[in-house]
Structure 1
Amino acid sequence: MAFNMSRSEFSAYLNQARITGQVATPRENNLSHFQGFVDGNEHLDFGVSWTRDWTYQDVFALMARRVGTSPDPAHTEGQDTISAELCIDALTVYARIFGQAVKEKQSILFATGHPAGLFPIYVAMAQAARAHGATVLGIDEGDSFLDGDIRQIFDVVMFQQYGNLQHTHFPGPMQLALTQLEKLGTLPQLVVADHGMAGYAASAGLPTIGIADCNDPGLFVSAEQGQILVAVPMDDNVLPHLYEPVIDFILSTAGLDR
């Protein structure tokens, strides 16, 4: 489906769907995650290698500037926000990088730590990449991580435990996938991912584009440090069908048919 919204219409849609605007994540959770990142919480570091020291105040200011969370330090409870304008700006860069990689028929690896939300975005992107001659990389499934393993479904690498695809912030699944590909001499020319999978790939020096929520400061720190090429601020777990206009925007901006 072609994307036929104006920027103002797309912005209004993102806010209405709560992909941006008054999103579901409460202010208290955002602030605790900012502190958790600074403290080195293993669920929040996203595999991001620090190139400078980061304080809570640094992260707080960064998230207001890159994401659109409230800049008021006295606002500690209740509603928080993501800027639709910042989302669209970053999503435009994201789509153009992806489109250029496909145009150049690069090798691309797709991965997600949010199978219940973001998975459909990557499936559509992978299908478009294949259709336009890019190489979508595959992995050998089954390498163990914690008490589960990595799987690749419709070209997207994910982590499963006990037969269930898992929401994970850990970088381990991406580390396993890249180790496999490195042994084969086929490291990706572009990684399209989120959470720890994106953070690890970017810190490893691979060109990476990512999506992150307002309680996920790691990828925005990575972008500030010049590691990840772009981190798109948006709610990462709304109902999957609500991302359909986002998919259309990405593919249209990338110059690709769906």
Structure 2
Amino acid sequence: MESVNPAELAEYLDSVRITGQVATPRQDNLKHMRLFLEGNENLEFGVELTRRWTYDDVFDLMHERVGTSPDRSHTEGQDTIDAGTCVAALDRFADRLGASVRRNDRILFATGHPAGLLPVHAAFARAAAAAGATVVEVAEGRRFGAGDIRQVFGVLVWHQHGGLMHTHLPEPMRLSIDTLAREGIGMPDLVVADHGWAGHAASSGLPTIGFADCNDPGLFVSEAQGQLEVAVPLDDNVCPGLYDPLIAYVLERAGLPPA
């Protein structure tokens, strides 16, 4: 795939609605801000608050770090993710990933959105391993609820009833960290993840970078608190092939082999 410059990537991301006028409606974004602050189990993502956050605080943060509308009277309809903000975060993501790989670090990859982001994480895991990093393996089959933890193409996922499940919960990452500790395996030097996998890892003190949608305020709060190192704003559940230029851009900037 040909090299993509930042402006071209931003234009592309808008064209396929990874950024720009994304699928998540405005009312969903606003609702999730409130539910996050209420500690909703599907939206707190394992993020430990280090100060008091108000609704207005989170509202302003989401505009700043995601590009959602700053208009408080806009309560329904279309909302947005800013492509330039996304690309700037991808630059920081790539720089951090590349630095970790050059040190031959141990890197753990995980996703709560396997239908969209599994191929993204898998491409990064494959490239990192090819360049000399170690992709952390976690013993599979540890039970959580009605499912268990699996590792697919180097990426931790939650499996249930024969399918890879969408989950926002932090428990799969908590269970994975506990498994590594119980088996005497060192903690990862870097976690690359999303949703509760990322939120819990960052709150546990593990260096973590990841992805978050405009209705996932928890990870942007975690980043603002200095826990999560990078939160990349994007639509996290478009058709997987649409992320290919994003993958190529990150790998090139990180100095990693193409997927």
What TM-score do the two structures reach when normalised by structure 2?
0.98
The residue aligned with 1:78 is 77
Gaps of 5+ in 1: none
Structure 2: which 5+ residue stretches go unaligned?
none
Identity of aligned residues (%): 58
Could you list the per-position Cα deviations for residues 111-169 of structure 1 after superposition, in whole angstroms to 9, with x for gaps in the alignment? 00000000011111111111111010111111111111110011100001111110000
Does residue 182 (structure 1) correspond to residue 184 (structure 2)? The answer is: no
Does residue 41 of structure 2 align to residue 42 of structure 1?
yes
Partner Cα separation in structure 1 for residue 4 and residue 193 of structure 2:
26
- Aligned pair 1:221/2:221, yes or no? yes
Q: Provide the aligned length of Structure 1 versus Structure 2.
A: 257
Tell me the C-alpha RMSD between the 2 structures: 0.7
Q: State the SS of the aligned residue for 1:91.
A: helix
Q: Amino acid of the residue matched to residue 232 of structure 1?
A: V
Q: 5 Å matches for 1:197-236?
A: 197-236=197-236
Structure 1 equivalent of residue 7 of structure 2: 8
Q: Distance in 1 between matches of 2:237 and 2:245?
A: 15
Q: Report what 1:253 is aligned to.
A: 253
Q: Could you tell me which amino acid in structure 2 is paired with residue 40 of structure 1?
A: G
Amino acid at match of 1:66: R
In the TM superposition, 1:111-130 aligns within 5 A as 111-130=110-129
Return the alpha-carbon distance in structure 1 between the equivalents of residues 217 and 15 of structure 2. Answer: 24
Deviations 1:37-78 (A, max 9, x none): 011101000000000011111110100000000000000000
Q: Which residue of structure 2 aligns with residue 193 of structure 1? A: 193
What is the 5 A alignment of 1:134-153? 134-153=133-152
2: CA distance, partners of 1:8 / 1:99: 21
d(CA) in 2 for partners of 1:134 and 1:185? 16
Distance 2:119 2:140 in 1: 20
**Partner SS for 2:37:** helix
What's the counterpart of residue 32 of structure 2? 33
Residue aligned with 2:198, SS: helix
Following superposition, the deviation at residue 5 of structure 1 comes to 2.1
CA distances 1:199-244 after superposition (whole Å, capped 9, x unpaired) = 0000000000010000000000000000000000000000000000
> For residues 142 and 224 of structure 2, what CA distance do their matches in structure 1 show?
32
Q: CA deviation at 1:185?
A: 3.2
Equivalent residue number for residue 170 of structure 2 = 171
Whichever residue aligns with residue 75 of structure 1, its letter is H
Alpha-carbon distance in structure 1 between the residues aligned to 2:90 and 2:4: 15
